[in-house]
A and B are shown apart, each in its own frame.
Chain A
Amino acid sequence: MSQNAITIESLEENLKVLARQRAIYSVLFIGAIIFIVVSGVGVANQYNAGSFTRGVENFFDYPVDLFSDAFEAGWGWFGIVLSFIPALFETFSAAVFSTVVGASIALILCPLATINLSPNQVTVQIVRRTFDILRSFPELVFALILLYLMGKSIVPAIIAVTLHTIGAMGKLFSEAIENIDMKPVDGLKSVGASWYQIICFAVYPQVLPLVLSYSLLRLEINVRASTILGFVGAGGIGAYLTASLQWRYGDEVLAIMFLLVATITALDYFSSYVRHKLIGKISA
């Protein structure tokens, strides 16, 4: 018999060893998860201002308060909803503006950050590291500092969100560009096109659908981000939310929450619809 022959017995033996190994790994993994959950909840309970059990009991109090306030307002509640639409529009257009500016800057910079297109490798590293830094800075940090420097307005929020958008989109776009079909690029090179012409006519047309779909996703994220920044002082609907929360106007709080949820859900549906259309176009 040759050495390579596999007997049923040896196979079974192997299988048993593997099964035991797997079982040990699974037990360890489950043990680790249980440990994290139990000890984490313990620590959290210890340092929480309120207690867990009381929190669970009171969980529905606040929503009930909100709805009863809104119910008391009666038909007037819809008027309140309408009255917040200008503020919502401010936040929304801030998000649109930062998305458009951020995506444009990222789109202009990202050919410099891809290995297959960039004029030299030093630029690739510099632009990539810039993207990394911009991305890993939470916009909250930057916005808080700018708010301190420039006073309360929506401009710091716009700048902070734009910078974060540049970092996040720059990375996505440059990854998209790295995966493009290089044939059109070679074709244009062969007829003597300049670098600028190659980017415009061989690279951008290939990534445009992806760019649009990423930008739509980003818009959704940025609406949330600018609402939050409004909450810490950058104006827009977030500022009204803080005020209403502090004054405990339940009907106004509910109106703003309703507007936010409606906007984000609408954007969600709209962007997934457009993305499906765009991606269908790509695959067709």
Chain B
Amino acid sequence: MSITVDDRGVSFQEIYQSVEKKAYYQKLITLVSIGGILLYFVFSIIQFDLGSISRKWSPDRASRLFLDTYAHKDHVVMNWKDTSKISVNFEGDYRYQYPSFPEWLERIGDGKDIAILTFNSGSKAIFRDDKIIFEQSKSEDRKFIFGIGNNGKPYAEAYDNDGNEKDLPNWIRVTESKVEVRPSLYERIQIYKRKVEVHRYEFGWKYFWFDFFSPLKDYSLPEALSLIFSNERIEPDKTNFELVFSEISDNEQWMHGTVLFSILETLLMAVLGTLLASLLGLPLAFLAAYNITPFKFVRFSLRRLFDMLRGIDMIIWCLIFVRSFGPGLFTGIFAIAFTDTGTLGKLMSEAIENADNKQQEGVKSTGASTILQHRFGIIPQIMPVFISQSLYYLESNTRGAVILGAMGAGGIGLQLLGAIRTGNDFENVGYMAVLIVLLVTVMDQMSAFLRRFLIGIEKN
């Protein structure tokens, strides 16, 4: 067997071996780094007690919260002492009591039954003087009876069609003072010693356009809009146009006017902050660039100023400003403007220093003054960088303004924080979250469009 040798006299076998050795080491490095990352995961899972998620996380609460974001509920309450009065309230709020029974609750005048409540699924709850009979639409062979026993404690019983007693399913929980029945997410019956409370959920946001007390509450939006063009006034002292829009924006529950205004506040914060930062950053960047400013002291101090503005984080600026300007837009505007003046100033001064000086010399050769040299020799070169960077900051500042809002600068961030802290307005939380995502997406698209329009970079 002849040994193949390349022109340097190294045998291929040696080359092969060295290559294999290298590959082996690379494999080893990869494995060790992946192993290191996995070890780090294990360490972190212990450190952060990530195992506690399963303990703290209650799927029940989460699903109810999620349900709240897209559905509404009506509470039907009956006192055992006075069963002739049954109150029906929207979302259980004592102020939102329906003046008459809705169509899914039927009052029966004679006989033992007082009223029949029909759920969305077709299940029925029959109210009686001393008990509630619950019939499920799916399993017709079973019915449930809930009530207050002679000992004053609530009880629950299940029967089949022949009247034989059966075991209770796991969605009925009986305790000393309460029976909790939740056959599905959309149905809930609670039996207390003094009263019975039935929650009936329905899909959708009710009273989204017009609130409970609005004269327009029975109108849908298209109907209300078509009212604008009719001559009959609903309220004599207001035109229909005024009425419809004031009712929408003053909606007590959804607060469309306030929410929309906070969105605008957040937007204003981002736009004004970025605008101020670019208006301040560009001239300062010129002063900090060595090919423009001959004074070393000015350049050095400006550089350090940029570092300071940039290094102190936006949230810390926000905390400082909130003390002097109070909670409001100025806090957010200046927090954004200060941070981004630093970032933009640093970036732009570097861009100015990297600008090609041939153009400047060309302008100089025509006898132009120094200012004109900069105007026509340097600014056209850095303008695309400047515009695209400013637009990028506008984009990220829109997100930032939402967060600054929650830290005290007002706007939609504060509204969102408030809605979450109350703990029962999750439809409002969902609504605002959707609006925030919309705002961020629209700003992203707009800045991308402006970038293309102003700089004229073709796609790909």
Measured CB to CB, the residues of A under 8 A from B are 33, 36-37, 40-41, 43-45, 47-50, 52, 55-56, 58-59, 61-63, 93-94, 97, 100-101, 104, 133, 136-138, 140-141, 144-145, 148-151, 153-155, 158, 224, 227-228, 231-232, 241, 245, 253, 257, 260-261, 264-265, 268
Q: Is A52's CB under 8 angstroms from B48's CB?
A: no
A140–B323 touching, CB < 8 Å:
no
Q: Are A155 and B417 in touch, CB under 8 angstroms?
A: no
Q: Are B41 and A101 in contact (CB under 8 A)?
A: yes
Contact B57 A55 (CB under 8 A): no
Once the chains bind, are A228 and B407 in contact (CB under 8 Å)?
yes
Residue of B48, B56, B268, B314 ringed by the most chain A CB atoms within 10 A: B48
Q: Which of B65, B275, B319, B329 contacts A47 (CB 8 A)?
A: B329
Name the residue on B nearest A204 (C-beta): B30
CA distance A58 to B311 in the complex (A): 23
Determine if B377 is an interface residue (Cβ-Cβ < 8 Å).
no
Residue B125 CB within 8 A of the other chain: no
Structural contact, A52 and B57, CB atoms closer than 8 A: no
Q: Are A149 and B57 neighbours in the complex by a CB distance under 8 Å?
A: yes
Instruction: For B316, list chain A residues within 8 Å (CB).
Output: 257, 260-261
* Contact A227 B315, beta carbon cutoff 8 Å: yes
| With contact pairs A50-B326, A144-B417 given, residues A44 and B311 touching in the complex (Cβ less than 8 Å) | no
Closest to B323 in A: A62
**CB atoms of B403 and A155 under 8 A apart:** no
B300: interface (CB < 8 Å): no
Q: Which 10 A-B residue pairings sit nearest by Cβ, starting from the closest?
A: A50-B326, A48-B328, A49-B326, A55-B325, A44-B329, A62-B323, A58-B324, A40-B272, A97-B44, A150-B56
Q: Give the secondary structure class of B's interface.
A: helix
B106 to chain A, nearest CB (A): 38
Q: Which of A37, A45, A62, A228 contacts B315 (CB 8 A)?
A: A228
Contact in complex: B319, A144 (CB < 8 Å)? no
Residue of B nearest to A140 (CB): B403
**B423/A232 in contact, CB under 8 A:** no
Chain B interface residue number, banded: 35 or more
Is the Cβ of A97 less than 8 Å from the Cβ of B48? Answer: yes
- When the two chains form the complex, which single residue of A44, A153, A261 contacts B313, counting CB atoms closer than 8 Å? A261
Contact of A155 among B52, B275, B437 (CB under 8 A): B52
Whether a CB of chain A sits under 8 angstroms from the CB of B327 is yes
Docked Cα-Cα span, A236 to B437, in Å, equals 27
A261 / chain B contacts, CB cutoff of 8 Å:
311-313, 316
- The complex places the Cα of A140 from the Cα of B414 at a distance, in Å, of 11
Which chain B residue shows the least CB distance to A159?
B53
**Would you call A245 and B319 a contact (CB within 8 A)?**
yes
B389-407 with Cβ < 8 A to chain A: 399, 402-403, 406-407
- Check if A231 sits within 8 Å of B416, measured CB to CB: no
Kindly list chain A residues whose C-beta atoms are within 8 Å of the C-beta of B406: 140, 144, 232
Q: B residues within 8 A CB of A93? A: 44, 47
Closest to B57 in A: A150
Known interface pairs A104-B37, A232-B417. Does A136 touch B444 (Cβ–Cβ under 8 Å)? yes
Contacts of A47 in B (CB 8 A): 265, 328-329, 410
- Say which residue of B53, B333, B420, B436 sits within 8 Å of A138 (CB atoms): B436
Residues on the B chain within 8 Å of A145, using CB: 65, 420, 429
B330 within 8 A of A: yes
| Chain A hits for B31, CB < 8 A | none
Neighbouring A residues of B307 by C-beta, 8 Å: 265
25 residue pairs A–B, Cβ–Cβ below 8 Å: A40-B268, A40-B272, A44-B329, A45-B330, A48-B326, A48-B328, A55-B324, A62-B324, A93-B47, A94-B48, A97-B41, A136-B441, A136-B444, A138-B399, A140-B403, A140-B413, A141-B436, A150-B53, A153-B49, A153-B52, A155-B56, A224-B313, A224-B314, A224-B315, A228-B407
- Residues B328 and A50 in contact, CB atoms below 8 Å apart: yes
Contact A158 B41 (CB under 8 A): no
In the complex, chain A residues whose CB is within 8 Å of the CB of B272: 36-37, 40-41, 44
Cβ-based interface call for B105 (8 A): no
Q: Does B459 contact A (CB under 8 A)?
A: no
Interface residues of B in 410-431 (CB under 8 A from A): 410, 413, 416-417, 420, 423, 429
Having A58-B324, A140-B403, one finds 18 other A-B pairs with CB under 8 Å, namely A33-B275, A37-B275, A40-B271, A48-B329, A49-B328, A50-B325, A55-B325, A104-B37, A133-B437, A141-B436, A145-B65, A149-B61, A232-B417, A257-B316, A261-B311, A261-B312, A265-B307, A265-B311
Is B440 an interface residue when CB atoms closer than 8 A count as contact?
A: yes
Tell me if B12 counts as interface (CB < 8 A to partner A).
no
Contacts of B311 in A (CB 8 A): 261, 264-265, 268
Minimum distance in angstroms from B286 CB to a CB of chain A = 18
By beta carbon, the residue of chain A nearest B69 is A145
Q: Does B320 contact A (CB under 8 A)?
A: yes
A97 to B329, CA, bound (A): 34
| Distance from A270 Cβ to chain B, minimum over Cβ atoms (Å) | 14
Q: A69 to chain B: closest CB distance in Å?
A: 13
Residues of A within 8 A of B268 (CB): 40, 43-44
Closest to B261 in A: A47
Contact B320 A48 (CB under 8 A): no
A260 touches B440 (CB 8 A): no
Best-surrounded residue of A37, A140, A245, A260 (most CB of chain B within 10 A):
A140
Complex Cα spacing A231 to B57, Å: 22
Q: Indicate whether B260 reaches chain A with its CB closer than 8 angstroms.
A: no
Determine the chain B residues whose CB is within 8 A of the CB of A140 once the complex forms: 402-403, 406, 413, 416
Q: In the complex, what residues of A have CB within 8 A of residue B62's CB? A: 149
Q: Which of A37, A44, A62 is the most central at the interface, judged by chain B CB atoms within 10 Å of its CB?
A: A44
Determine if B455 is an interface residue (Cβ-Cβ < 8 Å): no
Asked whether B330 lies within 8 Å of A48 as measured between CB atoms, the reply is yes
Inter-chain CA distance A228–B408, complex, in Å, is 12
Across-interface contacts of A231 in B (CB, < 8 A): 315, 407
> Which B residues touch A153, using CB under 8 A?
49, 52, 56
Q: Mark B64-108, 1 if CB is under 8 A from A, else 0.
A: 010000000000000000000000000000000000000000000
Interface residue ranges of B103-120 to A (CB < 8 Å): none
- Check B234 for interface membership: any CB of A closer than 8 A: no
| Closest chain A CB from B171 CB (angstroms) | 22
Task: Note all chain B residues with C-beta closer than 8 A to A265.
Answer: 307, 311
Residues on A with C-beta less than 8 A from B15 are: none
Q: What residue of chain A has the Cβ atom nearest to residue B273's Cβ? A: A40
Q: Which residues of B contact A260 (CB under 8 A)?
A: 313, 316
Say if the beta carbon of B213 comes within 8 Å of chain A. Answer: no
Considering the complex, give the chain B residue whose CB is closest to the CB of A62: B323
Interface residues of B in 152-173 (CB under 8 A from A): none
Chain B residues with CB under 8 A of A268: 311
- With A141-B436, A228-B403 known to touch, is A36 a contact of B325 (CB < 8 Å)? no
